[in-house]
Every structure is written in C-alpha cells, then in structure tokens.
Structure 1
Amino acid sequence: MAYYILTYSIQLARFSMDKFFSPRSIVVVGASNGPFNLGSTISKFLEYLHYTGESYVVNSKGEDVQGARGFGSVLDLPYAVDLAVILTPARAVPGIVRDCGIKGIRNVVIETAEFSETGEEGRRLQADISRFADEYGIRFLGPNCLGTLNAHERFCCFFGFVPGMYDEVFDRPGSLSYVIQSGGVGVLIMDSLRRDVNNVNKMVSIGNKEDLDESDMIEYFNGDSTEVIGLYLENIKNGRKLIEIAKKVEKPILLYKVGRTAEGSRAAMSHTAGMANNDVILDHACRQAGIVRLKAISELHALPKIFTHMPLIRGNRVAVFTNSGAFGGITADIVVESGMQMATLSEATRERIGKTGKLFNASNPIDLGPTLSKQVFIDIFEIILSSDEVDALLAVPNVWQQVVIDAIAELGGICRKFDKPAAIYIPNAVERIIAVRNDYQIPVFESPEEAVRALRVSYEHFLGLRKKERTPQLV
C-alpha cells in the first residue's frame, strides 16, 4: 500500500509540474494594451505560436489583449486556469498570489522583479508571497524570472519575445533542457543552437527561486524526453537537496556557475539576490553528485552534442586522426593538457593502419596526409575505434575536398557500431565549420579545444555514473 501511495504522490507532483510547461489554460496578470506593456508581449507571442489552450488576461480595465479575453481580477476568471503568469508592480504581487489561491490556481510564474534583490522592502514582499503560497498550496517560479518554454508543445511565457524571433526553436525542437537564472544566458543558448545539430526541449528561468529551484527542475527533466540538462546558476539554494537529487539522475547534468571570484559573487548577489556560495565546496559537491562543471558559458550550448550524437566515453585514451601534420601536434598538446591521454598504439595496430594507404604517420597522432580515398578514411576510423587500446577518437580532418566530408559523415555510424565516441573538428574558418555542420548534420565542434573539452566532459560524466553505481541509493 505504501508503494502505491508513494507512486501516486510522485505522479501527482509531476502532473502539477507539467502545468508550468504544458498548461491547458493560462492567464497573464498585468497584460494590457498600454504602450510598452511587457505582459502583452506574452499574449502576443502565445497567439503567434498558435497556443491551443485558453488564454486570458487580467488588467485594471478588464480589456482583451492580443486575442486573450480580459478580466478585471483573477477572481473574475471563469474557472481556475492551469497557470497564472504575473507581471505587475511588485507591491501588487502578494495580493494577486492570494487571489490565485482563493480562485484555486495552484501554479504561478512571478516574472516581476524588485523583490529580495533590492533590499528590505523587497524581502518583505517576497516573504508575503511565500506565506500566501503556503496557505493555498501554490507552487511558483520566481520572482524575478523570465518564465517557461516548451518547444515541442509550442508554448512560451517569456516576456519580451517578438513573433518570428525564435522560429527555429519551435520549428526544430530538440532534447536539451535548461535551468537558468538569466534571461540573457537563455537568449545566448537559443541563438547559438540555431546553427547546431540539436536544439532546446524545455527552458525555465527560476530567478530568485523562492519556491521551486534548480533541484526541482532537474528532478522534473529527469522524467521527460530531455537527454542533457544544462544549468546556469548564480547561487545554490539548497546544496544538500541538489546533491541528493543529482545522485539519482543518470542524464548528463552540465553546470556553469558564476561567482568564482569575489567580484563575480557581488554581481550575482545584485542580480538574483542569492549568496554565490563557496566555489571549492561546490566543486567537491558536484563531483560527489555526478554534476559536470563547465569552464565557459559557451559550453552550455556547444558541448551537449557529444552526448546526444555520440556514445559515452568509457576511458581517457584518445587517438588523434588528421590530414594535417600541424594539427596532429596542436591537438596532442590539448589532449594531454586536458587531463586525457594520448593512446599508445601497438605495433599490430600501427601495421593495420599503415596498410590502408600511403600515410605520413601511422602512430598517434595518425597523419593521413593528402590521401583522398573515402574508403581509407573509413578503414582507419574502424581500425582505431575497434582497438582495445583506444577509448575515443579525435578526428581533425581538413575538409578541402568533398570526399573528406563524405567520409566524416559516416563516422557517427561507425562510432555507434563500436560504442565509442568521436569528437570532430575541421580546421577551417568558423563559417565553413557551421556550413558543414548544418548541411550534413555532422556534430562538428568549432575549435580543437572545444572538441577535446567535449571528450573530457563525456569522461567526467562517465566517472560520475560509475560512482553512482557504487553508491547505494536510499529508496
């Protein structure tokens, strides 16, 4: 009986969380027809996306906005909608949350700013919000957040979006889900993924996270179609909770945490009102929980493809393959400096590689030279990836001829055949790299450092999974 009660409770909680991303009805409180009204941009964008649910607005005039039926109060709505989005002056928000509770609305997004991040009065208002939420059993995001996005369902309650601005997100939804504390970072991710092989599944901005936080979102994304979870955080609300939830998740969790310096910490506090936490302690906690810390903000959008398009690495021995001697040396340095190892190839493996064609070097790094045979490329890929001496391939071919592109287009299938990954970088201008990636849907990285870093991050996730397997979980 206890098992069935627990299962029902989990399903009920998940149903409640679904309403933040797939609401069947929504009200935007504060949307009006006034000039520069941010709430109206949400209603307009929902109309542009052809949102299939019922859409309402609440404003002082009770007027309709962008096709959404208007009311003068939340209490006047015809029924308790799935989701209320609040974008009003801060002083009005606690009362609106109370009205949501009275009406029976249990999911709220508070996008209004100027709460605890601004001082004592803001902290008092934020505490009032929590008091009413607790009284009525409301779960809420924010305050001081951007909202939620579900690309597959064509739903978005981000304010300020202009129709047509992010069509690629909704026309080509992906499997990457993000938890962010900055709208600017969310925009960077979406803009960057326009030109990549994967795209956004869901995105949530958690702001001051007075109620729901990063741990709740990780737990939610662990139960949907998400393949990789990306986090941009300015503070950690509850470290113990984060560790315990992350330990139960096998999906890659990639974290970029700001505030590694005193200056960064002060900036984070002024933005989302949280303590930036001790970075050394956070490093240890991430290793304990299997969370991979990122070193650059661009890694949030650049590295996930190593997980979505390649098998997981299971060791740190890397073989480098190139048709440019210079990049053999360049990438060998980067591999070693990253903490990975250059694989040592046996004489038998080198002989097999040497028999494929006229190579400049059959040792690691393997230098094919100007050979233009697709079959030679494929033969070498298979020899390297089938070897017990190698855990991953770093492919660095200059795509100076079509035959080279044709060969690396087949590399993904060879990797899946031998259950080993390849990180691909082509030594060309970034415009050329992006063109090849888009035209052929090859998961190409934009620098040799980025490609090696992808292998390292895959390896860190593998080590985290292995640690989780050795640590019994309490049920």
Structure 2
Amino acid sequence: MSTLSLLWRAESVAVIGATERPGALGRKPVDYLRRYGYQGRVLPINPKGGEILGYQAYPSVLDAPGPIDLALIMVSAERVPAAVDDCVAAGIKLAIIASSGFAEIGDEGAALQAETVSRARAGGLRLIGPNCIGSVGFRSRVLATFSPLFSAESVVSLEPGGLGIVSQSGALGFGAASLGIERGMRPGWVVTTGNDADVSALEVLAALAEEPDCTALLGYLENVPDIDLLRSLAASGKPVALVKSGRSAEGGRAAASHTGALATDDRVLDAALRQLGIVRADGIDELLDAGDAFATPLRPKGPRVAIVTTSGGSGILAADDVVARGLRLSELRPETREVLAGIVPSFGSVDNPVDVTAAVLSDSSLFERSLAAIAADDTVDMIIGCFCVMTDGDVDKAVHSLARTAEASGKPVLVSRTGADFLAPEARATLRRIGLPDYPTPARAVRAAAALWQVSRPRPAALPAATDAVPAPGSEVTEPELKALLTEVGLQVPAGRVVASAEDAASLVAELGGRAVFKAVVPGLVHKTDVGAVKVDVGVADAAAAFEEVAAFGGRVLVEELVDDGVELLVGVRSADFGPVLTVGLGGIFTEVLDDVTSRLLPLGEGDAEAMLGELRGSALLTGARGQRPVDVAAAADVLRRVSALTADWGAGFELDLNPVRLLPDRAVVLDAAYVTTKES
C-alpha cells in the first residue's frame, strides 16, 4: 500500500497548529473531522495542551500517543521546519504542509522550502505541499483540510463516489469539486498539493489509480509532469483528464531547425497525453464535462457518432463539432435510413444527424423507435441526443428512451439539453440517476464524447527498441556523413557525392542527367539556403561556376541529383524532458504560417506513423487534392518509422532535421538533413 494512501486511509490525524478560537484556520480541520464523523483518532497539537473541541490536545506530536498516520501542519512558515523535525522523530510517514510563505514568495521562501524537504526526506517523511489546502477522503471521512467547502451542511451528507480530483491549486481544486458536487457528481477524494515540493499532484493521481473503488481521475497541474508517472497512470486503465496550465508559454528552448522550434514543450505534452490515452482539458468546465462522461460504465468501440435531435439547428451544430473534435459522423446504413423513413415525419431528416422534429411532443414513440433503429446500426459507436426547450414531462419520456437504448445496445449515450433549468427542474437529477451525461449545448456534449473516445480507444504498444540501434552522430557530423547514416537504415537520399574540383563537378552533373543541386558542406552551417550556400538546378555548362561559388564558403562541395515536384514533408526529432519527440509537418506555408504539424513521443507505436500523417490539416495534398497526383503515403509513413527506430535511443541533447523530405508518387527522398547538439548535452 502506498504511503500516499494515508491521505484517505489514515486511522489517526494530528493537526499541528490546532486551536479552538472561532474563525481561526487551525480550528476548521478539527471541527470537520468531528462533524463529518471521522472514526479515527484526532490529535490536536497546540503548545498550551488542554482540550480543543472535545479532543485532548498535546503540546507536540512527540507528546501525543502513537502511532500517528497523518499530520496536517498549520503553523507559520518559519516554524514549519521544527514541526517537520518533530514528525520525523515521532515516526510519522506523511504530512501535509498547509502553511504558505515558501517558494511561491521568492528566493528566501524557496530556500526555506528546500531545507524543509531535505529534512523530511532524510527522516523518511513524505510531504504534501506546502501552500496547499489539504486533502479529503470522503469514504473514510479523512478531512485534513481547512477548505470552506466543508462549512456547507449539504456536503456533510454527500454520498462518496469513485471520482478522484487532484489539484496543485488548493482553491481551484476545492472550487472545482464544489462545482462538480453542484452538478450531482460524487467525488470520493479531493487532494491539493500546492507547491509540489516533494509529492507531486501526478504522484497522488497515480496512487489513487491503484484504489479499487476509484473509477475516474481529474487533475489540475502547473508543473511539467514526469513521463514515467504519466505512463503509470495510463497503464492503470482508469480514465484520466488533466488541465495543464501555461499552454501559451514558450516551454521549449530555441531550436536550430524548423521542426525543433515547432515542437514546443506544450506541444510535446499534448502528444504524450494523446499517445497515452489521457484527455487534456482546456479548463475546469471541460475537465468536469469529461468527468461526467467518465461516469458512464459504457465505452465506445470507435469514433463514429450518431446524432438524434428534436431540433435541426442543434443537430447541425453537433455535426460540425463532431468533425472539429476528430470524431466521425456515422454514415447510417441504407436499411437503417429506410426504417427511419417510416418513423420520422416527412419534414424531418433520416440522414445523420437524424431530426425527428418537434412531432415527438405529440407522439413520444417516434423518438424511441428512431433510437432503436440507430442503435442497431453497426456503423454507430456513440449516440448524442440533442433537445431544446423541453419541460419535465417531455424530458422524462426522452431520457428514459435514451437510457433503455444505452442499456440494450451497450453504446454510450450523451445528452445535450439546451434550455433553462426552470423549464425542467428535475431533468438533471433524472439524467444523473439514470446514468446519462447531461450537457447544456451540443458543443459540450460532443467534446465530452471525444474525451470518452480518447480514454477508450486501443492504445498500441510501443515498438521495441532495435537491438542493432545505430549510435547518435558526433557533434561535428555534416550532411554527407548524416545521409550515409540515413541510407544505412533504409532511407532514400538523392544520388550524388562530394566533388573535389570543377571538372569533377561537371562530370557528375552529366552523370546525374544534367540537373543537379550544389551545397556547401561546412561544419556548423545548418541553414545553407539562407546564406546562398545552395545552388539549385545547375546544368553541365554552369557546373564550374557553381562549384567555385559554393566552394568559397570554405568547406567541401556536395553535388546531388535534382529531385523536384511532389510534396514536401518536414520530419524532425529533438530530445525533450519526456524523451525524444518526432514532429512531422507539410512544408512551406503549411508549416511556417498554418502551423500544420503533429508530434509523438518515441518510439512510435503501431499505426502512429499513419495516424500522424492523417492528423495534418493539409493531408489531402498527399492523396491528390485538386487534380494533383497522389504521393506515396506508405513511403512517407515508412520514413517516420525508420527515423523513430534510428533515434529512439539517442538520449538527450540533440536535434535531427530532415527538411525537406520529397514525397513522390513512388517513393520518399530525404533531400536535406541536419544534426545539431543542444545545450543540455
């Protein structure tokens, strides 16, 4: 059992800094433990001793009867190190530091925080915080917190559920929990970790994932998470959604290649979470919406969505969002549409989205019969029901039809109910009781459906590392040597070689068909085109002059065949906090202006290469958009797989840039390649 599980399993809680003074923060945890019926030992710690709210108080944890499972430290910052020392001496294994005045206030506080953590670690004590609001285990009534949320009497009788909420921000964490409770969600655990000085929010999430009663996890993070903990969390199989703040901050170092610059740390985090099947939410509403979707035990087998609506406008909006969220609008089978044609009024629609119209208000069977036909269609993985301005009676009929459909088909059903609560005051409770996620707009329902698919889709295993892995190049490697390495692992490069003279250059151009590219090979010169060190489409007659001009840069001269036409692809790998990251994008304006790139952690898993190419907004160019010839997409995917196998074990401190890779109808050719070492090496 993890030490962190004492946050919700503690059989004894010491509150260091406890007081009976009305309004004091040190009173609240003792009061909450008493009022909420905590069955363990409550040990108020106050230098004066005596009695606090009916409990015997002790001057120090060293004076209190042991063993003590959990300590909540609520004294001023300068007194915290001594309190930590006492906890170590008392044999306590876990403490929450609620006190502020540490790294969040600057260098002096950071030094105090480092000293405190050092003392704790030396004594085998794990720390939550500092600068947090504590934690709550609803099942065991372990309320080690001073959050005002628990001053509300309505929370006292809350029946705990299987949802875990973990947040670095204390106020935001308990605020989100309160919003979830207001929705009808039933958290089983709420933990805040503050500065994450020792135990991180991600560690707590991973510990909660081991709890058999935990069914879903929601988290708010401010620090960049540890990739091994993310993998552990994903491996638990529990659905997880995270908000990671700082999305707009420049997280990555400046890069020498286009793809390195585009693969910012935030983009890398997106890629990591997507690969691991963890949802990244953009805010608290989206986080809680995902939690609502996770509450249903049903999981989609694919991304195909059927929309059934009583409002044509809602259906159209939902369809738009299905596409925008990376889901697919199911193409209903002809036989399904034929059945629907016998049910849906002529002024409705039997195509997806299916509009049964407001006629259901006079004949509720229209809706249920339509749902049965749609649910029976094997092209449908999820159903979203969209309603507008319905009263309790109408909602009651509709939701029971939806619930029966979900139960009979085993397919998730989500509800978009656009209308004021006063029209149907009992609707939300009814939906919650039946187990149907309920959202106020089509966009939020579709977003939640996408989250449900994200945590449900198969997660391909990563490819094993190659046993004959090629070592990383040295820091002074230049293009000819790098291309030789690429050739060694099966990648195609243009025909050509380094030439020693103008005569040699002219002879080689003739061998290459009379059209060639000349490049200066100078260590450290990466962006050769920017300084005029590249000459394109050089013929035999111009070869001597081109040689002299390129040789003037002081290095060797590389002459290669000209490979034109086709589509340009940029492929880059750089080492990041999470390990090597591969980024791919279409060249030219698609990368520079439209930011049309996608990333994955290495090694790539089965199907990742093809998925990355499909994620590009300009992917239609690969298959022959607007009369253009299609290129060899299989060869493009093979480039990504081979680059993954080549670089997955190269370690830290490098960037590899293949820019561009020319995609042709029958092959993929790496036209330019650069390798640089970065500061971290």
Q: Deviations over 1:310-345 (max 9, x none)?
A: 511222221111112222222222222222222212
Q: What secondary structure is seen at the aligned counterpart in 1 of 2:105?
A: coil
| Counterpart Cα distance in 2 of 1:433 and 1:290 | 36
Equivalent in the alignment of 1:261: 248
Residue 403 of structure 1 deviates from its aligned partner by 4.3
Q: Which has the higher contact order (CA 8 A, sep 6+)?
A: 1
Equivalent in the alignment of 1:362: 350
Per the normalisation by structure 2, the TM-score is 0.62
Residue identity matched to 1:49 = Y
Per the normalisation by structure 1, the TM-score is 0.87
Q: What secondary structure is seen at the aligned counterpart in 2 of 1:57?
A: strand
Structure 1 residues not aligned, in runs of 5+: 1-10, 266-276
Equivalent in the alignment of 1:462: 456
Change (3 A) 1:255 1:45: same
Task: Identify which of 438, 443, 451 aligns with 1:449.
Answer: 443
Q: What secondary structure is seen at the aligned counterpart in 2 of 1:315?
A: coil
Task: Identify which of 364, 374, 387 aligns with 1:374.
Answer: 364
Equivalent in the alignment of 1:145: 132
| Counterpart Cα distance in 2 of 1:262 and 1:95 | 37
| Counterpart Cα distance in 2 of 1:118 and 1:197 | 37
Equivalent in the alignment of 2:276: 289
Q: Deviations over 1:11-40 (max 9, x none)?
A: 4xx3x3332112111110011234542111
Residue 413 of structure 1 deviates from its aligned partner by 3.6
Instruction: Give the count of matched residue pairs.
Output: 446
Q: What secondary structure is seen at the aligned counterpart in 2 of 1:117?
A: helix
Residue identity matched to 2:363 = S
Equivalent in the alignment of 2:219: 231
Change (3 A) 1:35 1:228: same
| Counterpart Cα distance in 2 of 1:193 and 1:316 | 26
| Counterpart Cα distance in 2 of 1:144 and 1:334 | 40
| Counterpart Cα distance in 2 of 1:170 and 1:405 | 27
Q: What secondary structure is seen at the aligned counterpart in 1 of 2:164?
A: strand
> Do the aligned partners of 2:168 and 2:201 also contact (CA within 8 Å) in 1?
no
Q: Deviations over 1:428-468 (max 9, x none)?
A: 124546630114534311221110101111122223xx125
> Do the aligned partners of 1:195 and 1:434 also contact (CA within 8 Å) in 2?
no
Task: Identify which of 116, 122, 129 aligns with 2:109.
Answer: 122
> Do the aligned partners of 1:230 and 1:253 also contact (CA within 8 Å) in 2?
yes
Equivalent in the alignment of 1:335: 322
> Do the aligned partners of 1:433 and 1:446 also contact (CA within 8 Å) in 2?
no
| Counterpart Cα distance in 2 of 1:471 and 1:409 | 45
Structure with the larger helix share = 1
Structure 2 residues not aligned, in runs of 5+: 253-263, 466-681
Task: Identify which of 408, 415, 431 aligns with 1:417.
Answer: 408
| Counterpart Cα distance in 1 of 2:318 and 2:297 | 20
Equivalent in the alignment of 1:274: none
| Counterpart Cα distance in 1 of 2:419 and 2:251 | 35
Equivalent in the alignment of 1:405: 396
| Counterpart Cα distance in 1 of 2:22 and 2:234 | 48
Residue 205 of structure 1 deviates from its aligned partner by 0.4
Equivalent in the alignment of 1:309: 296
Equivalent in the alignment of 1:388: 378
Q: What secondary structure is seen at the aligned counterpart in 2 of 1:61?
A: coil
Residue identity matched to 1:419 = G
Equivalent in the alignment of 1:272: none
Task: Identify which of 190, 193, 198 aligns with 1:206.
Answer: 193
Change (3 A) 1:248 1:162: closer
Residue 89 of structure 1 deviates from its aligned partner by 0.7
> Do the aligned partners of 1:415 and 1:421 also contact (CA within 8 Å) in 2?
yes
Q: Does 1:110 align with 2:97?
A: yes
Q: Does 1:62 align with 2:49?
A: yes
- Counting only pairs closer than 5 Å after superposition, residues 78-227 of structure 1 correspond to structure 2 as 78-161=65-148, 164-165=151-152, 167-168=154-155, 170-224=157-211, 225-227=213-215
Percentage of pairs with the same residue: 29
Change (3 A) 1:433 1:297: farther
Residue 112 of structure 1 deviates from its aligned partner by 0.8
Q: Deviations over 1:161-215 (max 9, x none)?
A: 3654163375222221011011222233222223334311101101111221133
Change (3 A) 1:246 1:22: closer
> Do the aligned partners of 1:169 and 1:194 also contact (CA within 8 Å) in 2?
no
Change (3 A) 1:426 1:468: same
| Counterpart Cα distance in 2 of 1:425 and 1:100 | 51
> Do the aligned partners of 1:426 and 1:433 also contact (CA within 8 Å) in 2?
no
| Counterpart Cα distance in 1 of 2:101 and 2:251 | 20
> Do the aligned partners of 1:175 and 1:198 also contact (CA within 8 Å) in 2?
no
Q: Does 1:74 align with 2:39?
A: no
